[in-house]
Amino acid sequence: MEITDKKLAHIQRTLDRIYDPPLLRNLIKNDPVEFPHQYKDPIDIEISGFIASALSFGRIGLFKPVIRKILSLSNERLFDYVINFEPQKDREYFDNLYYRMCKGVDIACLIYILREVLRKHGSIRNLFYSCINENRKTEVAYKHTLPLTKDRGSFNSPFSDTNIRYVLNRFIETLREIDTTPVYGDNLHPRGLIQLLPSPVNGGPCKRLNMYLRWMVRPDDGIDFGLWDRISPSILIIPLDTHIIRICKNLNMTTKKSPSWVMAEEITENFRLLSPEDPLKYDFALCHLGVSGKWKEVLTDGA
């Protein structure tokens, strides 16, 4: 069943009512976005945000203490800690740290990978921007393979800037290509490390990566940060968590049954009908409405 115009109008009225940034800021303490909010320097915000988002799976009451412990290892500016990270010397601090399938050594390797990114690119943002640029080059090459009968100017290739999936894939590939020998003793990529660096290439929803992008890209409203201003919020994809999926299925905003990148795209397309330039505008509010358990009465009242 498709979502009706009447239903869509009701959803928009309701979401506009609950999208109240000053009030929503009180919920930051119940969300992993709490961690980057503990920093003021933009580069510390993006580093802490990446670490926090990478570990934000499972129950929030279980992963937040782990994130807090990792960030507490830095007695200085987080950037300084990461860029000076020495695997052989600093790995011991991670020995008793683990979260689900991620061992302490895997988490230490994540810090090491970030170190390599900072040393080569200066920031995570710069690496992501370079992935966008590489994607553009691929798009140009791709269009030149098309038959001359096609309108190359208007053809929307899968490598265009509006297809964030391919940029994310290139970004994660770059991180996974970093030699991990200094951490593991060999260039290994065990399950625990791969869990921290999810890729959309196999069709998964990549909730944590999309959440991180929302934090970095969406305009600063007291919740998100708007630090990566070369990326338009209009191309972001919604982070699929259990609350968003449950609510959007109930509202007929998706026809898919299982979490996937396609489901995330479909739901995002419906939110673009409400807010074309900022489809993730309501994500934080809707997620926490789901957490509260009151979403059904709020969203169905008056529909």
CA distances from 263 to 58, 192, 203, 245, 284 (A): 20, 26, 10, 9, 18
CA Rg value for the chain: 20
Which mean pLDDT values do the consecutive 10-residue runs of the chain (303 residues) have? 78 90 94 98 98 96 96 91 96 93 97 99 98 78 46 48 86 98 97 97 95 98 97 97 93 93 96 96 94 79 54
The tokens describing 94, both together, are 């991670």
Look at residue 152 in the predicted model and tell me its pLDDT.
Answer: 46
Distance CA 214, CA 219 (A): 9
The tokens describing 110, both together, are 């994540």
Pick from 85, 93, 95: nearest CA to 117: 85
Distance CA 241, CA 63 (A): 15
Output the 3-class SS for the chain. Answer: CCCCHHHHHHHHHHHHHHCCHHHHHHHHHHCHHHCHHHCCCHHHHHHHHHHHHHCCCCCHHHHHHHHHHHHHCCCCCHHHHHHCCCHHHHHHHHCCCCECCECHHHHHHHHHHHHHHHHHHCCHHHHHHHHHHHHHHHHHHHHCCCCCCCCCCCCCCCCCCCCHHHHHHHHHHHHHCCCCHHHHCCCCCCHHHHHHCCCHHHCCCCHHHHHHHHHHHCCCCCCCCCCCCCCCHHHCCCCCCHHHHHHHHHCCCCCCCCCCHHHHHHHHHHHHHHCCCCCCCCHHHHHHHHHHCCHHHHHHCCC
Pick from 266, 75, 216, 169: nearest CA to 258: 266
The tokens describing 98, both together, are 């683990």
Look at residue 301 in the predicted model and tell me its pLDDT.
Answer: 60
Residue listed under structure tokens 């710069």: 126
Distance CA 139, CA 119 (A): 28
